[in-house]
Amino acid sequence: MASLFDQKLQSLKGVGAKRAQLFEKLGVDSVGALLRYYPRAYEDWSHPFEIDAAPFDCPVCIRAAVISKVTETRIRKGMTLYRCQASDGSSVMRLTFFNNRYIPNLIKQNGEYLFYGKVGGTFTKREMTSPSFTTSAESSGFHPVYGQTEGLSSRQIEAAVRQALSLLPERVNDPLPEELRASYQLEELGQAIRDIHLPQSEPALNAARRRLIFEELFVLQLGLCQLKTRNRRETSCFLTADRSQEFFSCLPFPPTGAQRRAVAECVADMRRKTPMNRLIQGDVGSGKTAVAAALCYCAAREGIQSAFMAPTEILAEQHYHTMEKLFEGTGVSVALLTGSTKQRERRELLFALKAGQIHLLIGTHALLSDPVEFQRLGLVITDEQHRFGVAQRAALAGKGENPHLLVMSATPIPRTLALMIYGDLDVSVLDELPPGRQKIDTFWIDSKKRGRAYGFLQKHLNQGLQGYIVCPLVENESGEASLASAVEYAESLKAREFRDYRVGLLHGRMKPAEKEAVMRAFSRGELDLLVSTTVIEVGVDVPNAVIMLIENAERFGLSQLHQLRGRVGRGKEKSYCILVSDAQNEEAVYRLKAMCRTNDGFQIADEDLKLRGPGDFFGARQHGLPELKIADMLGDMDILSQAQQAAKILLKKDPALSFPEHRGIKGEIRRLFSQAGETAFN
Ligand code: ADP
Ligand code: MG
């Protein structure tokens, strides 16, 4: 098998240098790769319709006899039609082919054929144009449809695949050990490969798919687990005690059960010499900051420094203020370092950091830059992870003495999926909101009702509460009149509807100091209303703000809307989110309705994943996972968890995959990850 798999494509009949090149475009460079080039779809030739009963405009198979001679009509130069009538006994349909001079030879009067194509015409005069066909004795199964490229059609690929399949020995070496196949009822590789290309029935196809999907996810999971345990140097910054109780007693609120659990999991990690690698997932408002603070506290108590990175300056600043407050009177010293820290202050700060006088340094990516030297960096925390690349995570980890790593994400995704996407991380979930939180009532209105929404907003401002108005762009660059321009919009609100209120403006192009001033004023209650672009998207925390009005809400993705909405409903007051949009577009309507329906971040993320798919959801290839051939991590969630379970069991038995029966699987891991540029396995 190994030899066949490595065999050059050109060893197949009909594949010369030129065609081999075309195959290479599809990523197929060997017979093995061809056998693993699975069909994109299938034509179902196994359930022929009667002509009368065939649905219009979707591909179907029809078994019929040709009841007329093929006629040839030249309608203009270079355009000849070949036509005939076919009947299945119940009724008749017309077949039309263009410019195919072989048709009269291929289709004979009185012959019976299977035709595959879309039925068109009218109810009484059905027709098919350019259907595929075979003699009806020949085939009755599923026909594979391959992803093609110019110059290489699905049929040509099929022909090459058929040849490769004929070379496949009866029994092939299966990377999945027999025992495992038995316990998960997976068929053997050779069978699966035959059936995925040329299935004889739907059950056969399903069994093949399941087996191959399982294998792919299993290999992926094993690879990720191995990455996780690879070269994990020990850290000297392990904790010797759990002092989180001490910290909890300083908090102005009792921690939730979920917060306690997450802290306990992290502390347990940090007491080991192998550095922690953990993701904390929690919906907006679930209190991730306090969890991070508890860990920084424990570290600081043992003379271990922490770094906390946020994706934007505004967030870094805000975390800084939050942390300062949390650590008041505890002896933990907190500092902020961003791009706008003044030279002198910066020098002093860096000096103090190196001397170990600063326990917790908060900042943006600037923390990654060279002159930042810690005395004993043992804990690195990054907030809102999906904006940080894997590389940045690694760079930061390189800073200290192999520090513990904690990643915090407000994008709640199903646990099984998180295990894949953040494959190198352990996961803790904050699945409980602090008590007293109320559902944020969410409404979708069209722009005609905006005036009433303003009134509703004012009513709340009059009670001393605060609100946000969010709009998508700073300037009206696109020239679309419907697009609210934050600057103009804020001015006009100030001058008109909200002239009796204190209105602030926040947008991404303001200087950091200006932003900071506005944010501070808003969080101190010196502003009633904040008009903002999405810079407030993540993390900003003003519990007195209870209403958010989002303009052009259709312009935001579902998860983004949810993040935005998470800026309200953070205190005891009832909170509202008003989505203003005149959207008609089906997908936009779906998003807006989903927002009104649920407050649950997991559900929202689920819907968003369904709409966009995991690739888009996490940014193009940002998660750095190898590309999968057949598995769809969302659609195949149940197989995914089985594969994860199986991987866990296998690694327990043979952590290094050194048993001879695991040699095959090791090879597959290497193959899969070499595409992702991961050299660890080579
Ligand atoms: P997020 O998970 O979105 O980062 P934060 O850490 O900003 O959430 O916390 C949201 C709000 O909830 C903050 O005002 C915080 O002080 C408060 N909070 C956190 N934990 C608790 C708790 N256990 N009880 C009450 N309020 C809490
Ligand atoms: Mg946060």
Which tens digit of pLDDT belongs to each residue from 496-533? 999 999 999 887 777 877 887 888 889 889 999 999 87
Looking from the CA of residue 322, the nearest atom of ligand 1 is 16
The predicted pLDDT at position 179 comes to 92
* pLDDT, average across residues 130-137: 83
Answer whether 296's CB lies under 8 Å from 324's CB.
no
- Check whether 480 has a pLDDT greater than 60: no
Is the Cβ atom of 259 under 6 angstroms away from ligand 1? yes
- CA 532 to centroid of ligand 1, rounded, Å: 22
3-state secondary structure of 222: helix
pLDDT digits (tens, 9 = 90+) for 31-65: 989 999 999 989 888 888 999 899 988 889 999 99
Q: Given strand 377-383, what is the order of strands in its sheet? A: 334-337, 360-363, 305-309, 377-383, 404-409, 277-282, 426-430
The predicted pLDDT at position 69 comes to 94
The predicted pLDDT at position 475 comes to 46
Residue with tokens 């009368």: 52
Is the Cβ atom of 287 under 6 angstroms away from ligand 1? yes
Measured distance CA(592)–CA(581) in Å, rounded: 9
For 178, residues 6+ apart whose C-beta sits below 8 A from its C-beta are none
The predicted pLDDT at position 614 comes to 58
* pLDDT, average across residues 69-87: 92
- Quote the mean pLDDT of the chain: 86
Least confident range of 231-235, 253-257, 419-423: 419-423
Looking from the CA of residue 436, the nearest atom of ligand 1 is 25
The distance from CA 566 to its chain's CA centroid, rounded to whole angstroms, is 20
- Check whether 305 has a pLDDT greater than 90: yes
- Check whether 400 has a pLDDT greater than 80: no
* pLDDT, average across residues 2-18: 82
- CA 488 to centroid of ligand 2, rounded, Å: 30
- To test ligand 1's pocket by mutation, which of 328, 570, 573 has the most ligand atoms within 8 angstroms of CB? 570
Q: pLDDT band for position 622 (50/70/90)?
A: very low
Looking from the CA of residue 430, the nearest atom of ligand 1 is 2
The predicted pLDDT at position 479 comes to 52
For the residues of 440-475, what is the DSSP string, one character each? -EEEEE-GGGHHHHHHHHHHHHHTT-EEEEE-SBSS
Tell me which of 59 and 485 has the higher pLDDT.
59
374 dihedral zone (left: phi>0; alpha: psi -120 to 50; beta):
beta
Q: Domains in the chain, ordered, with CATH?
A: 2-41+148-203 (1.10.150.20), 47-140 (2.40.50.140), 244-430 (3.40.50.300), 440-598 (3.40.50.300)
- To test ligand 1's pocket by mutation, which of 249, 253, 314 has the most ligand atoms within 8 angstroms of CB? 253
The predicted pLDDT at position 474 comes to 46
Is the Cβ atom of 541 under 6 angstroms away from ligand 1? yes
Least confident range of 97-106, 125-134, 415-424, 478-487: 478-487
Measured distance CA(97)–CA(87) in Å, rounded: 17
Task: Output b/e per residue, 303-342; b: 16+ Cβ within 10 A.
Answer: ebbbbbbbbbbbbbbbbbbbbbebbeebebbbbbbbebbe
* pLDDT, average across residues 186-190: 95
Answer whether 192's CB lies under 8 Å from 165's CB.
no
- To test ligand 1's pocket by mutation, which of 250, 251, 286, 289 has the most ligand atoms within 8 angstroms of CB? 289
The predicted pLDDT at position 421 comes to 65
Report the share of the chain in percent with pLDDT over 70. 87
Looking from the CA of residue 290, the nearest atom of ligand 1 is 6
- To test ligand 1's pocket by mutation, which of 247, 250, 259, 286 has the most ligand atoms within 8 angstroms of CB? 286
| β-sheet bridge partners, residue 466 | 545
Nearest CA to ligand 1 atom 25: 434
Read off the tokens for 330. 């505890």
- Check whether 640 has a pLDDT greater than 80: yes
Q: Which residues surround ligand 2, an ion (CB under 5 A)?
A: 539
Read off the tokens for 66. 């040709």
- Check whether 612 has a pLDDT greater than 80: no
- Check whether 578 has a pLDDT greater than 70: yes
* pLDDT, average across residues 214-229: 84
Q: pLDDT band for position 118 (50/70/90)?
A: very high
- Check whether 478 has a pLDDT greater than 50: yes
Q: pLDDT band for position 615 (50/70/90)?
A: low
